Structure 1
Amino acid sequence: MLEWDAVYPSYDVAKRTIDVNYRSLLTIEELLYPLLRDGARVVNVSSNCGHLSNLRNQKWIETLKSVDLTTDKLNGFVDDYLQSVRNGTFRKEDFADEEEVLQKEYFDKRSVPGHIKTDMAQGGGQIDADEAAKVVLYLILEASPNLKGTFMWHDR
């Protein structure tokens, strides 16, 4: 969910965005992952907003790239972000100008199919849905298991 008119959001918008784009994934992971067979493939389809290249704050980048990052640490990081929005200390300069909220890659693979021609794109988009689905199908059916944790663009 992206609030197009609130790139640097109020607390309510930031919290709703985090709840939808981050905390809901934790819930899915908690409820569905135990049901998956060994070797199952999970693909998270997202926009490029979650890519670390959208951040300017070096401390944030180091935190999110840390091999010691746990769910508890990530939750604390997200809570700190929300608190900074709430108390007015959030600095939009920490993000690239056009991006909104960072996300952590929890799923085996992450796919960014591109700007797809859909209703959600509000008349925009350069890629047909059939074309965008190709990278998702590739990740599910053909990709090496060694790609775990990668961020896959629409053009591979």
Structure 2
Amino acid sequence: MAGKRIAVVTGANKGIGFGIMKELCAKFNGLVCLTSRDESRGFAAIKNLSELGLQAQYHQLDIDNIGSIKKFADYMKTKYGGFDVLVNNAGILYKRDATEPFGEQAENTIRVNFTGTLNVCQGLFPLLRPGARVVNVSSASGHLLNINGSEPAASALREKFASPILTEDEIVSLVNQFVKDAEAGDWNAKGWPSSAYAVSKVAVSALTRVQQRAFDADPRKDIVVNSCHPGYVDTDMTAHKGPLTIEQGAVSPSYLALLPPDTDLRGVYIWHDKQVVDWVNGPTPSLY
């Protein structure tokens, strides 16, 4: 099946990921692969899509497991030779009433939301074909202004994240320092917010900019990566408090996944209404 157009969505068995699957199954000219950590839930989602008249393929993928990522990459290479769309949607969020120590929340959230996403990218980017589209699902929390701990330390952190010569290794170093500061209990004094989710998503947004610089120098032409805030959506992650439907939450990531050739949107951060947002200076638009 080499040459067949393929799209991949992580964490796609429910919520926004499932909404993205519905959009891509209806609009993408090719095969859409639904991935999830839990196989039974993944196959149930495939069945739900089928009942809606939408066809998709399933493959297990746990972004928190290097072995799972490698197995999926080997499968994609062997079966298809490459692919064309990657939507990095999988992630976790501790609720406001979570009782786990903040250091534990920080370690787990960074490991899954940032490191897991980075590992998926490192494992799958070599398989992207020319013209591929990558979408990193961020959040309103992923805007740089959410690095808002004590000043002037927070300003220094924002400057580092916003650097036009920032590297992947430097982002890794920054988030690792956040985890250490969270475990030590002095994260706010060091400039970090009291939200591990915000730090993880700021890191994903910053990573997007770094990745696009690399793709701009890649011999494979017209590979584009962007990040987005999908909106405050009615999902398990928001304890069903979000006012938007999963279909509305799928609008911006699906839009980025289906960008036409030679698009001007390269390494940008967009809102749920597809508006390009100034990630460095803000201000951010309305959450809804």
TM range (shorter): 0.7 to 0.9
Aligned to 2:161: 64
What is the CA–CA distance in structure 1 between the aligned matches of 2:174 and 2:195, rounded to whole Å?
21
More divergent stretch after superposition (2-11 vs 113-122): 2-11
Distance change in 2, residues 1:7/1:75 (3 Å): farther
Aligned to 2:47: none
1:19 and 2:137 matched: no
Of the three residues 140, 145, 156, the one matched with 2:263 is: 145
Number of aligned positions between the proteins: 156
Gaps of 5+ in 1: none
* Map 1:68-147 → 2, pairs under 5 A: 68-91=165-188, 94-95=191-192, 100-102=197-199, 103-104=202-203, 105=205, 106-107=207-208, 108-142=225-259, 145-147=263-265
| Larger relative contact order, structure 1 or 2 (CA cutoff 8 Å, min sep 6) | 1
* Cα distance, 1:98 vs structure 2: 7.0
Percent sequence identity over aligned pairs: 32
SS at match of 1:63: helix
Instruction: With the length of structure 1 as denominator, give the TM-score of the two structures.
Output: 0.86
Aligned 8 A contact 1:7 1:99 in 2: no
More divergent stretch after superposition (51-60 vs 111-120): 111-120
Gaps of 5+ in 2: 1-91, 149-153, 209-224, 275-288
What is the CA–CA distance in structure 1 between the aligned matches of 2:177 and 2:254, rounded to whole Å?
36
Instruction: With the length of structure 2 as denominator, give the TM-score of the two structures.
Output: 0.49
* Cα distance, 1:40 vs structure 2: 0.5
What is the CA–CA distance in structure 1 between the aligned matches of 2:102 and 2:193, rounded to whole Å?
18
SS at match of 1:82: helix
Aligned to 1:39: 131
Aligned 8 A contact 2:146 2:198 in 1: no
What is the CA–CA distance in structure 2 between the aligned matches of 1:49 and 1:76, rounded to whole Å?
20
Aligned to 1:2: 93
More divergent stretch after superposition (71-80 vs 102-111): 102-111
Aligned to 1:51: 143
| RMSD of aligned alpha carbons | 2.5
